[in-house]
Amino acid sequence: MTVTATSVDQPDQLQPRPAPGARAGRLLRLVPAAASALCGVLLYVSFPPRTLWWLALPAFAGFAWVLRDRSWKAALGLGYLFGLGFLLPLLVWTGVEVGPGPWLALVAIEAVFVALVGVGVAAVSRLPAWPVWAAAVWVAGEAVRARVPFDGFPWGKVAFGQADGVFLPLAAVGGTPVLGFAVVLCGFGLYEAGRLLAERRRTRTVRRAAAAAALLSVAVPVAGAVAARALVSDRAENGTATVAVIQGNVPRSGLEFNAQRRAVLDYHARETHKLAADVRAGRAAKPDYVLWPENSSDIDPFAYPDAAAVIEEAAKDIGVPVSVGGVVEKDGKLLNEQILWDPVKGPTQTYDKRQIQPFGEFLPLRSLVGAINKQWTEMAHRDFSRGTRPGVFDIDGAKVGLATCYEAAFDWAVRDTVTHGAEMISVPSNNATFDRSEMTYQQLAMSRVRAVEHSRTVTVPVTSGVSAVIMPDGRITRKTGMFVPAYLVQKVPLRTSTTPATELGVLPEIALVLAAAGGIGWAVGSGLRARRARDA
């Protein structure tokens, strides 16, 4: 009998291997995704504490390369990868004490806004002078992020990475929206100039209008920044004031320091007594007023006489008013409050923080968060209430504006201190929760941008560092280390004039958002007309 061989008797046939060209093609398709994420990382590296501000330009040039002429679906994914590359390392400090969960959740949500910006940039990339429209789209994305969800999270605005850059004077022209627009426009313009140059080499032709638009996209922001230097001045206009900034330090970093509230208060009082002794010995100039940081008295001095006595003794020893950061309860409301404590009259003026921090000072979606992790609801067991009035302390004729910690990230919260008469600004902060992370340096850079934006001296008293004195031109003239007790004393200019940015307020941002909407509308309309023409 003849036996017929079957497949069982034969060795398994090997699957055909993909051709080298097919593998290379698949790898090439991954290049835009990898490039988008890496450009996001490059943008992060441009931020403090590094002074590599100029890396924002190639970051946006690369972002333009991966987005130009993409479909909306591809742009959405590429934009999300850019957002992850940027925000994951930038915001890692949000998980220092509470673990990676909140950090990853925050980044996942914030990157969605960047993804939507990617869709907008891809859409307008087909328009004439597209870098202008695309930069406006980026600013529009930042404007939305600064307002939603939960009153917004402006951290990571491009402007906040430019405190050491040549574009910084533009903050005085139109605030953070104009400064950010200029940087992004320059980056997109650099890509477009390179693309047109490559096209010329291939085709031996030059599209003059497109080339002119690309060159202007680079030249105008730079020329504008040079011209805006005339708006930057540290000249005193209403005399000067000698200010003292107190950094008392904390017993140890982390959330647990709140359990040692009396120690934190004592540390700041002790450093103030040390300053007073140095003044009497001639080792330090006598200040006109003293600025303590946020949370320097987490014990309510209105409810606990022993806390009030500590503050009063320090104020009497130095002999001038002391602005104290306290946690107080009034009419059943918990408030993050600055209290001006006069050495003779006691507490005379107060300012209640208005822009409170979600998941820090109030807990949105409390029941949902508690279901995920009960520990988070226990740490924020009670929500703070918001203040309702701008903070400007009148201290013997000198008007000091107050923007407490997180408020420095919000344009309106700093601007309205100046429109209500502030001649200098103080940003009392508490960064002890975030240990030695980059958060401190990122926030310090915000204060430098605000100094130029409103042409005001800005002081930054921080519980654990870095505390600083910043001139109206953005220069840091005094600063402390981290987690050390220290004081800073300096004579600073008081200024009354206002910059265009102060006068214009939100108008430049509105104009750029409208430009972005107009550009996207134009692009969508053009696409629909082209599709109808093809169908016809």
Residue at 395: amino acid letter = I
Q: Is the dihedral of CA 38, 40, 41, 45 positive or negative?
A: positive
Q: Is 405 a catalytic residue?
A: yes
- The DSSP H or E segment spanning 323 is strand 322-330
Q: Please indicate whether residue 271 is annotated as part of the active site.
A: no
CA distance 118 to 168: 25
Give the residue among 260, 351, 259, 277 at the shortest CA–CA distance from 314. Answer: 277
Question: Which among 155, 121, 159, 156 has a CA at the least distance from the CA of 138?
Answer: 121
Residues 6+ apart with CB under 8 A from 449: 159, 160, 162, 163, 168, 171, 176, 179, 474
CA distance 297 to 328: 9
Query: According to the model, what pLDDT value does residue 30 have?
Result: 87
pLDDT on residue 102: 84
The pLDDT value given to residue 534: 82
Cβ neighbourhood burial of 26 (10 Å; 0-12, 13-18, 19+)? exposed
Contact 27, 35 (CB under 8 A): no
Provide the β-strand partners of residue 243: 289, 490
Identify the sign of the CA torsion 409, 495, 290, 271.
positive
Token output for 191 = 């890509």
CA angle 368/372/373 to nearest 5° reads 115
Six-digit token string for 486 = 């220290």
Q: Which of 157, 353, 399, 479 is catalytic?
A: 353
Decide if 400 contacts 323 (C-beta within 8 A).
yes
Q: Is the peptide bond before 347 cis (omega within 30 degrees of 0)?
A: no
Radius of gyration of the chain (CA): 27
Rounded CA gap, 508 and 281, in Å?
Answer: 51
- The catalytic residue among 110, 142, 294, 423 is 294
What is the pLDDT at residue 1? 44
pLDDT value of residue 174: 97
Distance CA 405, CA 412 (A): 14
- Residue 353 annotated as catalytic: yes
* pTM of this structure: 0.91
Q: What is the pLDDT along the chain (536 residues), one digit of tens a residue?
A: 444 444 444 444 555 666 666 666 677 778 999 999 999 999 999 999 999 999 999 999 999 999 998 999 999 999 999 999 999 999 999 888 777 888 999 999 999 999 999 999 999 999 999 999 999 999 999 999 999 999 999 999 999 999 999 999 999 999 999 999 999 999 999 999 999 999 899 988 888 999 999 999 999 999 999 999 999 999 999 999 999 999 999 886 554 544 577 889 999 999 999 999 999 999 999 999 999 999 999 899 999 999 999 999 999 999 999 999 999 999 889 999 999 999 999 999 999 999 998 887 877 877 666 666 666 666 666 888 999 999 999 999 999 999 999 999 999 999 999 999 999 999 999 988 888 899 999 999 999 999 999 999 999 999 998 999 999 999 999 999 999 999 999 999 999 999 999 999 999 999 999 999 999 999 999 888 888 888 77
Residue 22, phi then psi, degrees to nearest 5: -70, -40
What pLDDT, on the 0 to 100 scale, is given for residue 2?
A: 43
How far lies 28's CA from each of 23, 31, 194, 198, 365, in Å?
9, 5, 21, 20, 43
Q: What is the pLDDT of residue 20?
A: 62
Q: Provide the greatest CA pair distance for the chain.
A: 120
Residues 250 and 463: beta-carbon distance below 8 Å: yes
Q: For strands 398-402 and 424-426, give the pairing.
A: parallel
* The pair of three-digit structure tokens given for residue 384, joined into one six-digit string: 């703070």
Catalytic, out of 39, 192, 405, 438: 405
Q: Which is nearest to 77 in space by CA: 87, 64, 67? A: 67
Q: Give long-range contacts, CB 8 A cutoff, 24+ apart: 350-353.
A: 351/387, 351/389, 351/390, 351/391, 351/392, 351/393, 351/402, 351/404, 352/385, 352/386, 352/387, 352/388, 352/389, 352/391, 353/384, 353/386, 353/387, 353/404, 353/405, 353/406, 353/407
pLDDT of residue 362: 78
